[in-house]
């Protein structure tokens, strides 16, 4: 697959003068909703209409999708607007139904990409068709697993391929719903430069206010397109309400985007620098988030100390932290003086936090 230009032919055939836009609701809810959104999106630069029919939910009891009936609504939306229709498939049965209803684009969801058995089953069910298939990244940041999913489809003879970057799940709370880990997608792009790469800022951010910024970041990294969840009444959506935008907002987001020219030979240096800076920014953002989480724990300790009437400053504990961090710093080739300064500052901030907690309670 490495240098096979065929994998991006489908995208070039659209002959777009702008990045590819895939938009539509997280879930198809009713026929009216599907048709109303589709008609509104037809007024924007949307080429592919998306709607989830079968919804993978983290816990049972939520809305699990309308099922096969939704495929009929999408057929109607296609008749009325001419947009291509896309759904998520998670098993061979979904594929069969999607094929029967002339769905044009199938995507494999993050919870399915993690499972090679499921991806193989989908690949086998699609063999011999010429559908466009997009593979979302797995929920965990595992590049090999993502590539493996694409390869299973390619080996089944599917050539109209692409990937969707929707971010990765983390245990730590971050400002993202799924952290982007851009360097992983960049590495994928470097290994398979012909494979179209589409960013899904809706699932990366989980918040509609952040979609513009993350979409721009993706374009700055030469992504081929965007998948943005769009709903006629986002706040009332049956799934992923917080991250959906109205068709009007989508139009505005697309209008605000700055599409830069792909870098030419002479720009290789700047391009490299830009990518490295992005990785630094990512680590700096994580540092701030980690420090925030650390201080929130310090606050909790402050409450306990107050309840038990214990002094804030515990010298023995502080000394042992410092020794441990000096040893850890050495392993990471960080200077001892730097570690001392850093942890003095962190410790001071912890004390300030605990003092604030205590003062507030008095």
Q: Which residues bind ligand PEP (CB under 6 A)?
A: 26, 52, 56, 109-111, 136, 166, 203
The DSSP bridge pattern shows strands 161-165 and 20-24 to be unpaired
Per CB under 5 A, 119 contacts Mn ion: no
Closest residue to Mn ion, Cβ-based?
26
Nearer to ligand PEP, 70 or 109 (CB): 109
Q: Which of residues 328-347 bind Mn ion (CB under 5 A)?
A: none
Nearer to Mn ion, 26 or 48 (CB): 26
Q: Give 161's strand partners.
A: 133
Per CB under 5 A, 26 contacts Mn ion: yes
How many chain residues bind Mn ion (CB under 5 A)? 2
Binding site partner of 136, from ligand PEP, Mn ion, none, Cβ cut-off 5-8 A by kind: ligand PEP
Which residue bears the tokens 């939910």? Answer: 57
Nearer to ligand PEP, 230 or 354 (CB): 230
Q: Judged by CB under 5 A, which stretch of 115-123, 128-136, 236-244, 331-339 contacts Mn ion?
A: 236-244
The least distance separating Mn ion from the CB of residue 203, rounded to whole angstroms, comes to 6
Q: What tokens appear for 16 in the block?
A: 């777009």
The least distance separating ligand PEP from the CB of residue 200, rounded to whole angstroms, comes to 6
The least distance separating Mn ion from the CB of residue 55, rounded to whole angstroms, comes to 8
Q: Judged by CB under 5 A, which stretch of 33-41, 237-245, 289-297, 350-358 contacts Mn ion?
A: 237-245
Cβ within 8 Å of residue 347, ≥6 positions away? 318, 321
Q: What tokens appear for 250 in the block?
A: 């989508």
* Per-residue DSSP letter, 31: H
Nearer to Mn ion, 10 or 49 (CB): 49
The least distance separating ligand PEP from the CB of residue 78, rounded to whole angstroms, comes to 19
> Distance (Å, rounded) from C-alpha 166 to C-alpha 137?
6
3-state secondary structure 117-183: HHHHHHHHHHCCCCCEEEEECCCCCCHHHHHHHHHHHHHCCCCCEEEEECCECCCCCCCCCCECCHH
Binding site partner of 110, from ligand PEP, Mn ion, none, Cβ cut-off 5-8 A by kind: ligand PEP
Query: From the list 29, 181, 224, 240, which residue makes contact with Mn ion (rule: CB under 5 A)?
Result: 240
- Which CA distances in Å does 327 have to 251, 318, 334? 53, 15, 10
> Distance (Å, rounded) from C-alpha 233 to C-alpha 31?
14
Burial class (CB in 10 A: 0-12, 13-18, 19+), 249: middle
Which positions touch Mn ion (CB under 5 A)?
26, 240
């Amino acid at each position: 697959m490495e240098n096979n230009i065929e994998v991006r032919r489908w995208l070039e055939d659209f002959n777009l003068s702008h990045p590819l836009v895939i938009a539509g609701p997280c879930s198809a809810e009713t026929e009216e909703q599907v048709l109303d959104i589709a008609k509104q999106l037809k007024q924007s630069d949307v080429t592919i209409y998306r709607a989830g029919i079968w919804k993978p939910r983290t816990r049972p009891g939520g809305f699990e999708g309308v099922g096969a009936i939704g495929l009929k609504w999408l057929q109607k939306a296609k008749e009325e607007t001419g947009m291509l229709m896309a759904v998520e498939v998670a098993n061979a049965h979904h594929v069969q139904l999607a094929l029967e209803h002339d769905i044009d684009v199938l995507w494999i969801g993050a919870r399915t990409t993690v499972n090679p058995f499921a991806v193989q089953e989908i690949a086998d069910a699609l063999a011999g068709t010429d559908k466009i298939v997009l593979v979302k990244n797995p929920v965990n940041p595992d590049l090999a697993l993502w590539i493996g999913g694409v390869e299973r489809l390619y080996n089944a003879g599917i050539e109209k391929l692409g990937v969707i970057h929707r971010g990765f799940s983390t245990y730590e709370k971050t400002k993202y719903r799924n952290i982007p880990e851009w360097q992983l997608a960049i590495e994928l792009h470097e290994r398979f430069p012909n494979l179209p790469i589409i960013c899904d800022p809706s699932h990366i951010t989980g918040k509609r206010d952040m979609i513009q910024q993350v979409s721009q970041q993706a374009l700055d990294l030469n992504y081929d397109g965007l998948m943005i969840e769009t709903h006629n009444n986002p706040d009332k959506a049956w799934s992923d309400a917080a991250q959906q935008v109205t068709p009007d907002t989508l139009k505005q987001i697309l209008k605000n985007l700055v599409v830069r020219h792909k870098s030419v030979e002479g720009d290789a240096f700047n391009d490299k620098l830009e990518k490295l800076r992005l990785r630094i920014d990512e680590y700096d953002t994580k540092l701030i988030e980690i420090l925030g989480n650390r201080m929130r724990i310090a606050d909790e300790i402050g409450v306990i100390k107050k309840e038990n009437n214990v002094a804030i400053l515990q010298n023995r504990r502080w000394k042992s932290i410092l020794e441990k961090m000096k040893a850890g710093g050495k392993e990471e080739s960080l200077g001892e003086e730097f570690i001392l300064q850093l942890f003095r500052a962190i410790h001071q901030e912890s004390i300030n936090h605990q003092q604030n907690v205590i003062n507030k309670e008095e």
